[in-house]
Structure 1
Amino acid sequence: LSNLNLNADEAMKYRVVEHIASTPEELLGQINGTSIKDVTLITQGAKLEVFEPPLNLQFLKMLSDPTIAGLLMLIGLYSLIFGFSSPGMGAEVFGLIALAMGLIGLGFNVNLGAIFLILLGLGLILAELHSHTFGILAVAGLVCVIAGSILFVPTSFPEWYVPGSYQRSMALALILPSLILGLFMAFAIYKVAQARFAPMVIDVFEGEEAVAIDRLDPKGYVLFQGEYWLAEAEGTVEKGEKVIIMARGGGQLKVRAGPK
């Protein structure tokens, strides 16, 4: 009977299995009252609890798929080659991330891979502060930090025995600060982009009022919004009189006498 490929009915015939059930509830009804080593199982009406693997194990399962791990390695290598041949495109960063995740999926030490991703992510976020990539490095860094935080939660047994509830709490404790940092970076990048792409404002002084602090004949100084400006007037303006700004050229204003 060795090396037989049996279906359910055949397995029952050869006494490989003792029960055949289509649902867990049906199985509980069948084994109710069964005695095993002087212990009687009372399973009728028992409550079923379904346990789902934590987020980090689901992520590891996805990375451990040979197809996905192989694609990550291939994409990472080609991204590095393209990035080194055409620097400044950000392909090197993507290549490093893909290689790190591919190595983890192929069995590389998960904790070391997670630490590498976290450090790489922090480095990318810091690099964003000194670059002009409009958030590309910050987004890549945030992805690295979140992925590393998820993978860094210890799961190996028996070296580490961590209850599922503690794993979820630990994952949240690592991921939430990353999300807050990401929101802050997104807001900062938005404000920088808003300021950079804002239309230039020309002649914002035109039509505004200032006060002559010298006798303008025709030149002197005026006080405008708490600042001293060199001004040239059309005609003569006495000290203390109001003037209307007509234009600005360099650091000098062109004014005319205002209302008395």
Structure 2
Amino acid sequence: MLFIDGAIGPATSDYITHGLERAAAGHAAIVVIQMDTPGGLDSAMREIIQAILRSPVPVVTYVSPSGSRAASAGTYILYASHIAAMTPGTNLGAATPVQIGGGSPFSAPPGETEKGKEAAPRSEGASEAKARNDAIAYIRSLAELRGRNADWAEAAVRTAASLSANAAREQNVIDVVARDRADLLAQVDGRTVTAAGREVRLATRDLTLVDAPPNWRTRFLSAITDPNIALILMMIGIYGLMFEFMNPGALYPGTIGAICLLTGFYAFAALPVNYAGVALILLGIGLMAAEAFSPSFGILGIGGVVAFMLGGTILIDTDVPQFQLSWPAIGAVAVASLAITVVFARLAFTSQRRKIVSGREQLIGATGTVLDWSNGRGHVFVHGERWQAASNHDIAPDAAVQVANLDGLTLDVTPVEAAPAPFSEQSKET
């Protein structure tokens, strides 16, 4: 027994598809899908329907428990199943496609009309009419395949019609109204269905249903395909790699960032993503980063936040609430990104002001002791090392000198008394 509980997305389609494949490999007598869904993504719905249609094992979709629904995408899955069943107190329908930004996800209508009144007609664009007609043709084909009420199926798409369990049985929309699992198995016993091109007579009266709940893989996929989680993973990945590039060899930021970034990309690949939203998010990150290194009195930072929030708003191309980015998540990630940018800027400015402690530049200004000297040349001891040195000054052995310049491996030194005073001390003297 498989379960669809909640919005239908990539994780659901993966779970149902693999569940049907395992049932076929194990020569199961039937597969029961217990369903309670408000709708979901069109792509995920079609993958589930395709898996049902090619399954050699008869599929019984059962809307249960009481109070559940098979709205929108759930109605299509119910029509595609070999046996459609419902518990008293459940309903199905409202299968009108909702189109946002070129996509055609399926979800329950956002508003409800008063009882007994039809929704006021509204103008329909060419793309919306195209999506609606495609949905009507699709659900009618499923109804005709299973010998169910095709006219009501069309009404469910065209006018968002809905039915209770008993009304659906009376109008030949479903096959069975069952109180519980035992009643369901008793009622479908002896029925003949066509599965994968062959007729199968169901013998279910003495069957025992074995639950196959979602495993860790499905739960993990369900978690990362939450757009809010996917966005956070992508941001952690981007900033992890940025920190690794700024501090080569840190390893932890780069490793964690790469894993999070790839996981976020995988999640977005499974979701209906608007690439204009992705471009705006990347632009926003770039502008906030530019603000850190190119002072612009805040215009780049503010523009980056605005671009980021606009990109997050249109990133997911669907009207299904469960697969939309929430404003709190977008705002939190934008504020966190701006804060991280400020931190990076502070670190960059601090490192620029910090005294150099290694390399060629570190020798300039360093002091040492003369080891030997003759005719303007000799050797000095600086930083625990013996260096060749030259100078235009007369210097005695054991004198303290300061490095003024470096020519290859030869230091240009001056006596400490003759070395130029720091700028701050010069300004005090003047």
After TM superposition, the score normalised by the length of structure 2 is 0.24
| Higher RCO (CA < 8 A, seq sep 6+) | 2
Greater share of residues in strand: 2
After TM superposition, the score normalised by the length of structure 1 is 0.35
